[in-house]
Amino acid sequence: MREALRKSNEHHVTITSEDYAKFCEFFYKKTGIVFTDKKGYFVERRLQERIEKTKSESFRDYFSLLRFQMSGDEWQELINNMTVNETYFLREDYQFDAMSNGMLPEIAQERPAGRSVKIWSLPCSTGEEPYSIAIHILEKWALADSYAIEICASDIDTRVVTQARRGVYGERSLQRLSPELRRKYFSKTGVDQYLIREELRESIDFSVTNIIDPLHMSRYRSVDIIFCRNLLIYFDDISRRGAVELMYECLSPGGFICLGHSESMSRISSLFKPRKFGETVVYQKAG
């Protein structure tokens, strides 16, 4: 059990365990994210920071601001501070192999050349995932030039979406890229700073999207492959089901969802059939 009162030092306001529970419930309803007790310290520290930055006098003041501010700016700021944005180029790239060796050839079999193939990275965080998808397709899919490949990338966090559009990365992000790929797709613009080629930046549509918001999700239709990796781990089964339900609507018949390595569709939805490409399991919309 969490202690009843979170005692303040001189800068901090007091957050009772009821306040904390109320906050978590609100955050969960809006984002699908569940804060486990293990994360309590992290969450509370970020919350205190926001209370301080907005000069709110109490938790209650801050909570009202969060809920009723017309612009929604503070809510967005809070989300940007609470999300875990860890990502890097070619993360879990066995799935990209499954895409170029399995899913894309299957899609191409049914679709005349010249038509479009839609791929969506949701969530995209700072952009490494959608850029990796683009690079992987250009490098590894023989039919890449025969189709109009449309890549969308979205995240709930406005700060990471802006970073993704800029396309500037440090060494840590690029670790898994060979020198050849770095030369081909990046220019070095400073110490530990690489800019991704303009053609790639210009060809991906980046947007702010909340996966559990039906209105946001209704903008995406007829998507062939959704990469939804390392997000559902932060959700409970109920928000996972909700997210999967909305993704179902976004996919074309026979479309695929790729989840992160520790995520699975079992218990969430029977509307998708697991498909194996090599050792990689992805999920296919029936019909």
Partner 1 sequence: MLVKPSIPNPVETLAATDFVGPAELLADLLGGGSTALRRQAAHNLRDYPECGPQLCDILAEEPRASVRAAILNTLIRLRSADVIRGLVEHLRSENATLRNEVIEVLQDMPDEAMPILEQLLTDWDSDVRIFTANILSETKHPRTPDVLIGVIKSDPHVNVCMAALDGLLEIGDESMIDSIQQLGERFPEAPFVKFAVSLAIKRLQGVDYARGTT
Ligand X SMILES: C[S@@+](CC[C@H](N)C(=O)[O-])C[C@H]1O[C@@H](n2cnc3c(N)ncnc32)[C@H](O)[C@@H]1O
- Burial class for 252, CB neighbours closer than 10 Å (0-12, 13-18, 19+): middle
Cβ atoms of residues 76 and 158 within 8 Å: yes
210 binding ligand X? (CB under 6 A): yes
At position 19, the amino acid (one-letter code) is: D
239: partner contacted, choices partner 1, ligand X, none (Cβ within 5-8 A by kind): none
Q: Which of 61, 245, 254, 263 binds partner 1 (CB under 8 A)?
A: 245
274 binding partner 1? (CB under 8 A): no
State the nearest-atom distance from the C-beta of 248 to ligand X, in Å: 16
138 binding partner 1? (CB under 8 A): yes
The DSSP secondary-structure symbol of 14 reads: P
The DSSP secondary-structure symbol of 145 reads: G
Q: Which of 155, 177, 223, 285 binds ligand X (CB under 6 A)?
A: 155
Q: Segment 5-24, which members bind ligand X (CB under 6 A)? A: none
Cβ atoms of residues 224 and 191 within 8 Å: no
240 binding ligand X? (CB under 6 A): no
Closest CA to 102 of 282, 260, 287: 282
231 binding ligand X? (CB under 6 A): yes
37 binding partner 1? (CB under 8 A): no
User: How many residues are present in the chain?
Assistant: 287
Residue 256 CA to residue 259 CA, distance in Å, equals 10
Q: Which of 25, 52, 57, 237 binds partner 1 (CB under 8 A)?
A: 237
95 binding ligand X? (CB under 6 A): no
Residue 135 φ then ψ, to 5°: -60, -45
Cβ atoms of residues 13 and 57 within 8 Å: yes
| Residues in binding contact with ligand X, number by CB under 6 A | 24
Q: Which residues bind partner 1 (CB under 8 A)?
A: 116, 118, 134, 137-138, 144-145, 147-152, 199-200, 202-205, 207, 214-216, 218-220, 237-238, 241-242, 245, 248-249, 267, 269-271, 286
